[in-house]
């Protein structure tokens, strides 16, 4: 039995895709610990891991999540540095494992701990990845590399990393020392997917049943449309009000997740609309004929797993890249949130639910997800990197 330590930041889109991998490693007899905030305790325990809680500095922030471009990208880098300073001293007291699995984009502490413990590290990438053929920065995350704010932030990050023995800051930030990158989407969804070499293993989403969440069943015969803007950029009472005002009398059962927005301030709720702060998303998607989504990669992969066509309303740079890919592959349609009307929204919902070509493409993508291997393929790859007494051959 090997000891495998998982590390992830706060954020459902970074935790949920890994839980199936955790469950599979536990099923194979390994001891798995998972360091993440208390919000994910039930999910981690259900997957069979030992939960290692820490308090995130981001939980107390009274501000909107930063956008991932321009000045906002610089602010995001500062927040990530601050989080690493807070989390690392708590987690470095843990007993060294045989292997570390950590979130690639954000869990810098996992990268530092694997280096300190001198154990192999596997990075999980729950989003699109970049190389010399395609990169988010070419279109979606524009940044002036000569900006004084950016250069100052890089200097701060460099000082911190050098204090922990890191000499090549660029290589560290890019994760070049990782033994393997597990990309939690199928290669077919990745832009320029065939240009990524052996260091990237596209395994698709590793989903679990999420029994810790309440179940959900339709309350009638109407087709179901799920509407959710995710967990980070969802403070859109204007949008939710538009959905409620326009849903009455339509031939849909509307399942609306509103996050922290108070439903009482949204006005009357039509009888064909169910409103909650958060929905058991997988349970709803099992019954849905359409999904109005922010196009976060976690939600996108969950929708594709269940073959549900999407109407994408991206709220930030990474989601715009996902939404463009959804449209490019004809897995749904993309609308501009800034120019959205109730008419364009409902026309899009009706269209994606009825379009046979979209249905054919969804069937194709479900086949690509199955072929990627999911949690089983990820666990196979991880076991090959374990020390010899625990290694799978």
* Beta carbons of 101 and 47 less than 8 angstroms apart: no
Is 385 within 8 Å of 99 (Cβ atoms)? yes
> What H or E segment, with its residue span, contains residue 303?
helix 297-305
Banded pLDDT at 158 (limits 50, 70, 90): very high
Percent of the chain with pLDDT over 70: 95
Compute the distance between CA of residue 30 and CA of residue 101 in angstroms, rounded to an integer: 13
Tokens of 175: 């994760």
Q: What digits encode the pLDDT tens for the residues 191-217?
A: 999 999 888 999 999 888 777 777 889
pLDDT of residue 277: 85
Query: Mean pLDDT across the stretch 156-160?
Result: 94
Q: How confident is the model at residue 148 (pLDDT cuts 50, 70, 90)?
A: confident
pLDDT at 65: 53
Band of pLDDT at residue 115, cut at 50, 70 and 90: very high
Q: Which of 55-59, 159-163, 200-204, 344-348 has the lowest mean pLDDT?
A: 55-59
pLDDT at 64 > cutoff 70: no
Nearest alpha-carbon partner for 271 in 293, 253, 290, 289: 253
Q: What is the pLDDT of residues 347-389, one digit of tens each?
A: 999 999 999 999 999 999 999 999 999 999 999 999 999 987 7
Angstrom distances, CA of residue 118 to CA of 38, 94, 218: 28, 14, 51
306-345 pLDDT tens trace: 999 999 999 888 899 999 999 999 999 999 988 899 999 9
What's the average model confidence in pLDDT over 248-272?
A: 91
> How does the average pLDDT of the chain come out, rounded?
91
Closest by CA to 228, choosing from 301, 273, 308, 295, is 295
Residue 198 burial (C-beta neighbours within 10 Å; 0-12, 13-18, 19+): exposed
Between CA 245 and CA 229 the distance in angstroms is 18
CA 330 from centre of chain: 21
- What separation in angstroms does the CA of 246 have from each of 224, 240, 265, 353? 16, 10, 16, 18
Query: Which domains occur in the chain, in start order?
Result: 3-204+373-390 (3.40.50.2000), 224-370 (3.40.50.2000)
Q: Which of 191, 188, 197 is nearest to 135 (CA)?
A: 191
Whether pLDDT at 278 is above 80:
yes
pLDDT of residue 226: 97
Whether 68 shows a pLDDT value over 60: the answer reads no
Residue 274 parent element (H or E): strand 273-276
Q: Are 320 and 366 in contact (CB under 8 A)?
A: no
Q: From CA 187, how far away is CA 270, in angstroms rounded?
A: 41
């Amino acid at each position: 039995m090997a000891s495998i330590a998982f590390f992830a930041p706060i954020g459902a889109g970074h935790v949920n895709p890994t839980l199936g991998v955790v469950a599979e490693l536990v099923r194979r007899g390994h001891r798995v610990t998972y360091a993440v905030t208390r919000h994910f305790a039930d999910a981690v325990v259900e997957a069979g891991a030992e939960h290692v809680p820490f308090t995130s500095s981001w939980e107390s922030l009274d501000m909107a999540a930063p956008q991932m471009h321009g000045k906002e990208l610089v602010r995001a880098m500062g927040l990530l540095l601050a989080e690493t300073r807070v989390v690392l001293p708590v987690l470095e007291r843990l007993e060294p494992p045989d292997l570390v699995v950590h979130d690639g984009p954000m869990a810098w502490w996992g990268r530092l701990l694997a280096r300190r413990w001198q154990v192999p590290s596997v990075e999980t990438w729950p989003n699109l990845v970049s190389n010399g053929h395609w990169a988010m920065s070419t279109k979606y995350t524009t940044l002036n590399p000569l900006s004084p704010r950016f250069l100052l932030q890089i200097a701060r990050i460099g000082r911190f990393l050098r204090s922990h023995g890191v000499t090549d800051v660029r290589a560290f930030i890019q994760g070049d020392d990782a033994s393997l990158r597990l990309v939690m989407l199928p290669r077919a969804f990745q832009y320029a997917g065939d240009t990524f070499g052996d260091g990237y293993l596209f395994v698709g989403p590793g989903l679990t049943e999420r029994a810790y969440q309440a179940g959900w069943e339709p309350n009638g015969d109407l087709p179901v449309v799920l509407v959710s803007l995710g967990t980070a950029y969802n403070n859109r009472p204007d949008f939710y009000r538009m959905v409620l005002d326009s849903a009455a009398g339509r031939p849909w059962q509307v399942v609306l997740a509103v996050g922290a927005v108070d439903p009482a301030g949204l006005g009357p709720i039509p009888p064909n609309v169910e409103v909650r702060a958060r929905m058991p998303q997988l349970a709803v998607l099992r019954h849905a004929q359409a999904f109005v989504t922010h196009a976060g990669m976690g939600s996108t992969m969950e929708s594709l797993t269940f073959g549900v066509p999407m109407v994408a309303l991206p709220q930030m740079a990474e989601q715009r890249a996902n939404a463009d890919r959804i449209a490019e592959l004809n897995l749904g349609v993309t609308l501009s949130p800034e120019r959205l009307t109730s008419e364009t929204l409902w026309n899009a919902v009706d269209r994606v639910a009825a379009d046979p070509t979209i249905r054919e493409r969804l069937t194709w993508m479900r086949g690509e997800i199955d072929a990627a291997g999911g949690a089983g393929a990820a666990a196979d790859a991880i076991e090959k990197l374990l020390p010899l007494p625990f290694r799978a051959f």
